[in-house]
A and B are shown apart, each in its own frame.
Chain A
Amino acid sequence: MTEQSNNGFEPEITVFTCIYCAYMAIDTAGALRIKYPANVKLIKLPCTGKTDTRYLLEAFEQGADGVCIVGCPIGNCHHVHGNERGLARVKYTKKLLDEIGLGGDRLEMYFVSGGMGDTFANAMREMTERVQELGPNPLKSEL
């Protein structure tokens, strides 16, 4: 890794993204060759409104160190309010994560429009650094 390492811990970040603004922003980051950590990997959903709390928990269970949801800017959702529903579930899941001791900080939602490749990449760097601070997902050792 050429990114700044934190005790050699390179967190695995799983990102759920809608197929509209967010996916386009991620494409744009690529087209503009804006780098971000290679451990960031994406799963496509039709809309962040489809984000199921179960998926978020599943990702942690399978060993993700951090999970992000990326959607269209509030007010610009292609399905009217899907991103707001997604946000509501993220907030709820954060609470659950706090309760079970995994910590809600491992989960975050971002809003980007299609051109904001830079913003997406920054968010991924920020998330990676944050999770580096938090350390590895404790469930992983039990896998």
Chain B
Amino acid sequence: MDEHSVKPKHPTGAVMVVGGGIAGIQSSLDLAEAGYKVYLVENKSAIGGHMAQLDKTFPTNDCAMCIVSPKLVDCGRHHNIELLTDSEVVGIQGEAGDFTARVRIHPRYIDLDKCTGCGDCATVCPVIVPIGIGPHFDEGLAEQRAAYKLYPQAVPNAFAIEKLGIAPCRDACPAGQRAQGYIALIREGRYEDALRVIKEDNPFPGICGRICNHRCETACNRGKLDEAVNIRALKRFVTDKVYAQPRVSPEPAQRKYEQRVAVIGAGPCGLTAAQDLCKLGYGVTAFEALPVGGGMLRVGVPEYRLPSEIVDREVQDIVDLGVELRLSTTVDNLDDVFAEGFEAVLIAVGAHEGIRLPIPGADMEGVLINTTFLRDVRLDNPPELGDRVAVIGAGDVAMDVARTAIRMGSEVHVYYRRTREEATAGEEEMRHAEEEGVVFHWQVNPVEVIGGNGRMSGLKCVRTEQGLPDETGRRRPVRVPGSEHFVPCDNVIFSVGQRAGLAFIPESAGVGVTDQATIAINPNTLAATRPGVFAAGDATTGTSFVIEAVEAGHRAADSIHRYLQGEELEPPPKPELPVVELTQAEIGKRVELGQVHVQPRVPMDELPAEERTSTFEEVVAGYTDEQAQAEAARCLACGICSECLSCVYECQADAINHDMVEQVGDLSVGAVVLAPGYEGYQAEQSGEYGWGRYPNVVTALQFERLLNASGPTHGHVQRPSDGKTPRRIAFIQCVGSRDQTHDYCSSFCCMYATKEGIMSIEHEPDTEVTIFMMDMRAFSKGYLEYYRRAQERYGIRYVRCRISSVKENPQTHDLVLRYVAEQGNKGAEEQESHSPFAIRHSPIREEEFDLVVLSVGVEIPERTRELGRRLGVEVDEYGFCRTQPFEPLQTSKPGIFAVGPFREPKDIPESVVEASGAAAAAGKVLSSARWTCTEEIVYPPERDVTAEEPRVGVFVCHCGSNIGGYLDVPEVAEYAASLPGVVHAEHNLYTCSQDSIQHITEQTKALGLNRVVVASCTPLTHEPLFQDSIRQAGLNPGMFQMANIRNQCSWVHPDQWDEATEKSKDLVRMAVAKALRLEPLRKTEVPVQKTALVIGGGVAGMTAALALAEQGFPVHLVERTERLGGQLQNVHHIVDYGSEPGNGQGKLVWRDPQVFLQGLIERVKSHSQITLHLESEYLESSGFAGNFTSRLRTPDGESQATTTVAVRHGATVVATGGVEYKGSEYGYGTDPRIVTQQEFEALLASQRVSESANQGGGERRGEDLPDSVTMILCVGPAEWYCSRICCTTAIKNALVLKRANPQAQITVLYNDIRTYGFKERLYKEARRQGVIFVHYDFDRKPTVEIGDSGLEIAVWESSLGQELVLNPDLLVLSMPVVPSDGADRLATRLKVPLDLDGFFLEAHVKLRPVDFASDGLFLAGTAHYPKFMDEAIVQAQAAAARATTILGQDVLQVGGIVAQVDAEKCVACLTCVRICPYDVPQVQARFDGVGGIAGAAYIEPAQCHGCGSCVAECPAKAIQLLRYRDVQVEAEIAALLEPQPVGV
């Protein structure tokens, strides 16, 4: 509470607002305007929240985007609001006035300063984001790419990249191949791009696509579902596809460094390094002993597995970059290499020396070695083979040897000393060998080669068995005694391993060699022991796989680069992203939701085994396009962004940075406003409704997107199952509200369902809409009227029942609902109550619908609960923030405020009100620090150009390819240069990029431009930016004009190059014509009278007055009566159904508002800044926002008479409240036993059933309390508008009575029970305590008779189908709240409008709920609409915050685009006075009109809104609108339509 809060002495004048939905935006704007620095922390990549997703808003059916978009732009451009998107708060320290908040900013991977929002990245992004991951603006109904902008109007206007981490395939690959990336590109048929991605990490895609040992596939998450994606085959597919086209050699790399590098060995490792170094800009020479490049790939792998042409081509690609390849050149001596001028040497000679087993006879003729044998075959010099060949060994090379020998016509036997399971060859390789006729002999070991005359004739072998494990963990093969046997054969080929040939390295070379005959290196840097010498690949590791050689090659190149640049050799540590391991459950959920289907890999065609043995043709055929795309579609896109770099290549602004990392920073703030919003209930948790299983069951938010013209179906509502237009649509209400697991009402679902129903009928007039609901909660301004219109004009059918489940007709995908339609049925839980009106057996109805919409309720996501924990703010068991009853926005932690649905479910206007209210609450803490943390933009002094000849500069934008790709931008610029008045025209890649903005400023100065035209995108978002740039050059912002050649031209005429180019010229010509006639827009500064006038001394008026006074503004508080307090004086109990922190058990918590009210009155009376005017009346005002003078009629201190005083003030708050209606309905006034709810409350209070009873146990019965009470809700005017508070008040009073007299019989006759939000808990509690609720319809209202036996009330109970008669002791009528007496008179005096029910009408129901349309006037409390005390308090704070945006300024800028009267032409006909929607023009005698006759119209520039209605209507043409003068508009018309100027 206030009394306890101490104002900090030196607070920080900055506020952190958490949550960028409409509430967060409003709070930020109000705070920034009031003089505080704002940090707006949003966890998504753009602000806008749920509102941006909506199609229309009720009850005005405004387009949500139309009304929110200007606020987004204001917020994004406000120089004192810093947007922190992709951010979250991780903790907070300190206290009110002086907090340090720690914020984590997640990487966006796109530089906000460089991104221009052109969207080229998203166009090329191949990754489709799986539904359920990341933000899906279209609620999963439209495909979203990993590079995305949340929505077209998003602020900031920039793209973002969704990246979860590294896909396991990439992680498993030694070379880090971005498999997910090229797979996605293959799925899209973009094979060239796919190859480009592969080549980013691997220069040998064709090779690896055939012979890689594909560890990626072992790691593939898809393997957890069915089978890993066939990644290797896809890689091969791509190379086959691209290599089938004529080869285009790559551009030679630019030489950047003088230094030269020698690479010894042109195998995969050496060539990879050579390529990298060449691309880095070094001179590279590769020395190769063989006559061909490619190393082992070229000479060690048989043709049938890896065709030579593939190897040759991939080697040639590297050579073409500029690598010198010296073939058949053996390096004998490292010193010679250095002597030739090379500054670094990489030894990558591989392991080409086969090993001859050290057994007797191993050097006989006919004994061959694997590497030599294969090389000779590949180099067309095959050895003679006999009929029968023995291959020793069972590794991959042995398989190559065996299968090569088969193809040479021999019978081939493989001998291996271990078991098949222990063989190191790939399973597929062995299978292929077997198919081709290779005979395997397991656990057989040769011990001698037998022969004569130096020529072998066979092998002596032994059989082995498994012995004890050796050092490798494998079991040692042990000779079986007596198993010697002879195997006849003509040749034996040893294939038992390879090693590097290091003969060229003598000991004197200074390069160390290990015991394993490999080169000794530092494994981190690959540096050998001699400086400048590096070694990599098989020569350092022994034989391994191609992909490892590639990886080593990359690392070697990096290392050599660092060496040559004199940098530290150890590579710098790189931030590692997590590897995305999907769990079985996560994959299972995707299957369940139908996003993934179980489907094994697409098989590849193979050459039949019998054909293979006679040919060296490739065995495996590769995929067709269709097969490859189908296989690629199986990818789960684990990492989301795959870093395929398509965006990097495409982005011409160089804005993409995949190496971004998260950042953590601290913010110093004085207060925090929490507006984290809500999330829709996850409908799959209510499995009975079939969401996620039945395609035609959608959530309301999904339906909203279907209705939206910018949504996935362009606003044509289509069924997800078949795209048909649904004719019968059912809405099921209260999904995730008012149920077993949610004891609250979500407050706005009734209205949005009604709105969506109306909109679907507006779209397709023959749509039938049925809404299944329990109550219609239409409790706010205009809602009941909206509900009525839905029924009467649109024929929407409302059925009162609770739907228990939805069934689908599997053939048609139609949906079947079964229900018991009962009038007055209060839902399932009611049936268990002790109601005497229990439901009887009623026929169950069954109905079929095309589409079912689930009206899902509000939930607080885990993320937000976590936020509460991090900030130490108490939340309840549902995650809603606990706030203080009499300070409704104050959380459990001083200085931290909560607004919007985070407090309690609520709709947009209430969230906006709270957002403004929080700005006032924060302002109270921080007022002494106003303007201390803000910055002011300083512009150079303005140059007076009025006397100059026009000098127009035209800047035409390419917008990346967005404009430049569809029309001839240079030609448009050239044309612009030829136009009269134009002294300069140019074209820019992105005119809005930071450097271009600066460039415009510089050009304006340098060329002395006095008018600037930019031809680019939309002025709605970009005009202020460009205006700013010319202001920086000393030009008035009015001297700027824009031509929208993107949204209005290139984007909508993409296939019409010539026409689009011509149209752009037309638009530029028009803009230039207008520019020639532009004039500076002058604003004048009006000093602000920093005082407020508050009309009305109830709780709203007092709260507003205090909120302003406590910020240091003097306040005049005017109250008509002799005492403060207003209607709150009549409220004696306030009750909540609350649970204590840490205790899930709920209970009723009673509070006495009178204690609070007395405190409030005392504070108002004693506040030095508040001047109280009791028994006073507001009479009239003159002036405008910031500068009003008002007259008040007030008692004369001395006499009985009244006097008039004038007060000067800058803003006005209207808080005149309302009163209880007292009509004659239901016999009111004819019998003392018929009372109003307020009278009943007073009666209950007079019986003092308050404090003692509250302690429980000692309940004391009031003596005059009735034993039976009947209440009738919705009396009189409440039939036309919902008075909002009556249901809850009736239930509260019922509970008060029950507490005093538990035996009391209470029956409530109602039309709808509108206990919205947490008030639902009171309703439930009342039912639990036995209060009986009976529904009635307005066309069959209850009747009241006063008979001899007392009151007799009859009501038609429709579920029973009979009339009930009640004889209570007391009849209580819930009379609605009506506007205070004289509200209409006050409205006239203030020149503000009333609504149809007599309440004051705000500027906009949704987004300007406390503003009047006229500037400087605000409203709060019941004067606006009936509301509860806490709502009135918040609204009063909001009105104070809005007033502060004026009072906080020293001066107001007025003028700009306003209408001006030329008095000499004015005939004072009053047309403008009549037409102006804002009542601004006045005919004033001080001006002389036509003919010098006194009296001409005057339009106050501070009040004019610049719409121009009066200008168009003025019969004398005496009014002109600045910037839209007739001469200006007519010049545009003429220029647009004039024929092309001759000679252009």
Contact = CB atoms under 8 A, between A and B. Distances in A.
Nearest to B1523: A46
A12 B720 CA distance: 40
A31 B710 CA distance: 9
* A: interface residue count bin: 35 or more
B1537 A63 contact: yes
A123 interface: no
Contacts of A97: none
A19 B1530 contact: no
B1477 A79 contact: yes
A70 interface: no
B1524 A50 contact: yes
Contact of A118 (B715, B1048, B1512): B715
A110 to B, nearest CB: 14
B1078 interface: no
Given A28-B709, A49-B1509, A76-B60, A14 B1020 contact: no
A13 B1019 CA distance: 21
A20 B66 contact: yes
A113 interface: yes
B69 A52 contact: no
Residue among B709, B1053, B1059, B1506 with max Cβ neighbours from chain A (10 Å) = B709
A12 B1053 CA distance: 15
B1529 A43 contact: yes
A21 B63 contact: yes
A31 B1534 contact: no
A85 B1512 contact: yes
A52 B1054 contact: no
A100 interface: no
Interface in B813-860: none
Interface in A4-50: 12, 14, 19-21, 23-36, 38-39, 41-47, 49-50
Given A49-B1512, A50-B1512, A118-B709, A30 B1046 contact: yes
Contact of A80 (B1049, B1477, B1533): B1477
B1505 interface: yes
Nearest to A117: B709
A2 interface: yes
B1056 A1 contact: yes
Given A14-B1537, A38-B1059, A45 B709 contact: no
Residue among B1046, B1056, B1509 with max Cβ neighbours from chain A (10 Å) = B1509
B266 to A, nearest CB: 49
Interface in B1488-1527: 1505-1509, 1511-1513, 1521, 1524, 1526
Interface in B384-430: none
B1538 interface: yes
Nearest to A88: B1513
A103 interface: no
Nearest to B1049: A38
Given A14-B1533, A38-B1060, A116-B709, A76 B1508 contact: no
Contact of B62 (A76, A79, A116, A121): A76
A24 B1536 contact: no
B710 A32 contact: yes
A91 interface: no
B709 A23 contact: no
Contact of B714 (A23, A32, A44, A46): A32
Contact of B1530 (A29, A51, A58, A64): A58
Interface in B1046-1062: 1046-1049, 1051-1056, 1059-1060, 1062
A115 B63 contact: yes
B69 A35 contact: no
A41 B152 contact: no
A33 to B, nearest CB: 5
A138 to B, nearest CB: 15
Contact of B69 (A24, A38, A42, A72): A24
B1532 interface: yes
A114 B1512 contact: no
Nearest to B1059: A38
A82 B1047 contact: no
A102 interface: no
A42 B1018 CA distance: 12
Contacts of A14: 1533, 1536-1537
A30 B714 contact: no
Contact of B1533 (A35, A55, A115, A119): A55
Contact of B1507 (A23, A38, A46, A118): A46
Contacts of A39: 1059, 1063
Contacts of B709: 25, 28, 113, 115-119
B708 interface: yes
Contacts of A81: 1477, 1509
Residue among A38, A43, A59, A72 with max Cβ neighbours from chain B (10 Å) = A38
The 6 tightest CB contacts between A and B, nearest first, are A30-B1047, A50-B1508, A113-B63, A49-B1509, A114-B66, A80-B1477
Given A41-B1067, A115-B709, 18 more contacts: A1-B1056, A14-B1537, A24-B63, A31-B1051, A38-B1059, A43-B1070, A49-B1508, A50-B1512, A55-B1529, A55-B1530, A64-B1537, A76-B60, A76-B62, A82-B1507, A113-B62, A113-B709, A115-B63, A115-B710
29 contacts: A1-B1056, A1-B1059, A2-B1055, A21-B66, A24-B63, A27-B1047, A29-B1047, A29-B1052, A30-B1047, A31-B1047, A33-B1051, A35-B1055, A42-B1044, A43-B1070, A43-B1529, A49-B1509, A50-B1512, A52-B1529, A55-B1530, A62-B1534, A62-B1537, A64-B1537, A75-B61, A76-B63, A76-B66, A79-B1507, A80-B1478, A115-B63, A116-B715
Interface of A: 1-2, 12, 14, 19-21, 23-36, 38-39, 41-47, 49-55, 58-59, 62-64, 72-73, 75-76, 78-82, 85, 89, 113-119, 121
